[in-house]
Each structure stands twice: as C-alpha cells, then as structure tokens.
C-alpha cells in the first residue's frame, strides 16, 4: 500500500529540493549532460522539470517524466509550459516503470539515485525499458573517495534522509550502475565548487545498456 505524502513532503520539501538542485554550478553541470539525450527519453525523478531548458528539441521525440511526488509535478508546470517537447508524466516510483521493454532510447538520471529506496530494482527497470545499445545519462552526487568526507557522509546520512526526501549522501553511484549491468563509457568525478563536500561529490557520465550476443555455436 502506498502511504500518502505528509504536508512536509508534499508542500515544503519540493521547494527545498528545487532550490538546492538549481544552483548555478548545478545548472552548469546539467547543461553538460542533458543535451545528449535523444529519441524517446525516460527522465527518472523529473522533479520540477528544471532539465527541460537543456534538452535539444531537434533530437528528442518525447520525454516520459517519472515523478511520484504530486508537489513536484505541480511545481513543474511553469517549466513544462516553456518547452515544445511533448512530456508525459509517469507518477509511479522508479522501481515500477510502466513502459514496455526496449521502448526508450535514453534514460536520464539527475540527482535521483540518491533517493530511490530500492536502487537496484529501479536500475533493472531502467535496463528493461532501455533499448539495447541505448544510453543512460547520469549526473548524481554520492560517496566521496576521501576518508574524512566519507566518514561524515556515513555519519550524517541516517538523519539527512529524514529531512531530504530519502537522500543518501554515501552511495557509490558508479558501482550501483555497474552492478545493474550497465557499461559505463564515460565518467567524470568532481566536487561542486563552494558546495559542502558531504553533498557535493559528483558522478557525471554516460553508460550503455549492452547488446547481448548469442553464444557461438
């Protein structure tokens, strides 16, 4: 049974997340990732649709926006009104993607994997709907390689999750993507300038859904 969202989750948290995820340096990083999306796109955790301005409308057929938060979908309306791209909402959690197998060309993840409770189930669903050879584009924050920062990430995450919509500070994003069977083609790691290091270590890149080959006879 899906529990109703609290007033905080529905009315307050969307504004906090939207503000945190639309800072200047974060938007600059989005502008480096989102334009690579093409064809039929599934954006998981679409939030307030702040990525829409970065899509290349000439290369995108449509966008499925998976976003279970009604508060976020309300907040997205002004951004959706500005785009010529067709967007269709999917309001189920990331672990339950209501699309056919091999039905999308690109999956886009921006600051989403940190919050999905069952990240492996969600990534397996993304692989299921992504065509063989299709791309997973990702821009996520997660576990730092530096001992001092990682120690604080592990210490703070239990309380942080309660205030930040389930956000984990300490997930090793690249390992999660590889574990799900994607092949990472490009990966860049960096700290967001002037952001707290515990929340500002970035994984940016692209992976493919490998084409399975039949064994030789």
CATH code for the domain in which residue 140 is found: 3.40.50.150
In-domain check, residue 217: no
Q: Whole-prediction pTM value?
A: 0.87
Per the structure, the complete domain to which residue 131 belongs is given by 7-208
* Number of C-beta neighbours around residue 169 at 10 A: 25
Q: What is the pLDDT of residues 132-158, one digit of tens each?
A: 999 999 999 999 999 999 999 999 999
Whether 88 is in a domain gets the answer yes
Q: How would you write the pLDDT of the chain (217 residues) with one tens digit per residue?
A: 334 444 444 444 444 454 555 566 899 999 999 999 999 999 999 989 999 999 999 999 999 999 988 888 988 999 999 999 999 999 877 678 999 999 999 999 999 999 998 999 999 999 999 999 999 999 999 999 999 999 999 999 998 888 777 889 999 999 999 999 999 999 999 999 888 899 999 999 999 999 876 444 4
Q: Within 13 A of 176's CA, how many CA atoms are on the CB side?
A: 26
Per-residue pLDDT, 58: 97
In the chain, the largest separation of any two C-alpha atoms, in whole Å, equals 60
The reply to whether 1 falls in a domain is no
What CA–CA distance (Å, rounded) separates 95 from 122? 4
> 135-159 b/e with 16+ CB inside 10 Å = b?
bbbbbbbbbbeeeebbebbeeebee
The tokens of 90 are what? 């999917």
45: in domain: yes
| Residue 214, domain member (yes or no) | no
In a domain, 213, yes or no: no
The CA distance from 11 to 3, in Å, is: 16
What pLDDT does 20 receive?
53
- CA nearest to 94, candidates 152, 153, 166: 166
pLDDT, position 32: 97
What is the predicted pLDDT for the residue at 165? 73
Would residue 32 count as lying in a domain?
yes
Residue 21 is predicted with a pLDDT of: 53
Q: Distance (Å, rounded) from C-alpha 103 to C-alpha 67? A: 18
Number of domains in the chain: 1
């Amino acid at each position: 049974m899906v529990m109703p969202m609290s007033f905080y989750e529905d009315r307050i948290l969307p504004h906090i997340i939207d503000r945190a995820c639309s800072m200047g340096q974060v938007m600059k990083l989005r502008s480096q990732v989102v334009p690579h999306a093409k064809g039929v796109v599934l954006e998981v955790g679409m939030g307030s649709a702040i990525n829409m301005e970065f899509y290349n409308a000439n290369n995108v057929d449509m966008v499925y926006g998976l976003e279970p938060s009604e508060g976020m979908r309300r907040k997205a309306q002004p951004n959706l009104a500005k785009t010529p791209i067709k967007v269709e909402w999917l309001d189920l959690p990331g672990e339950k993607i209501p699309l056919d197998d091999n039905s999308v060309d690109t999956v886009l993840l921006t600051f989403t994997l940190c919050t999905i409770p069952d990240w492996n189930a969600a990534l397996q669903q993304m692989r299921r709907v992504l065509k063989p050879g299709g791309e997973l584009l990702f821009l996520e924050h997660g576990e730092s390689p530096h001992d001092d920062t990682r120690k604080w990430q592990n210490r703070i995450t239990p309380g942080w999750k309660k205030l930040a919509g389930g956000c984990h500070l300490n997930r090793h994003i690249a390992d999660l993507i590889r574990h799900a069977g994607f092949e990472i083609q490009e990966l860049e790691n960096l700290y967001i300038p002037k952001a707290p290091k515990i929340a500002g270590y970035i994984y940016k890149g692209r992976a493919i859904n490998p084409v399975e080959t039949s064994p030789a006879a």
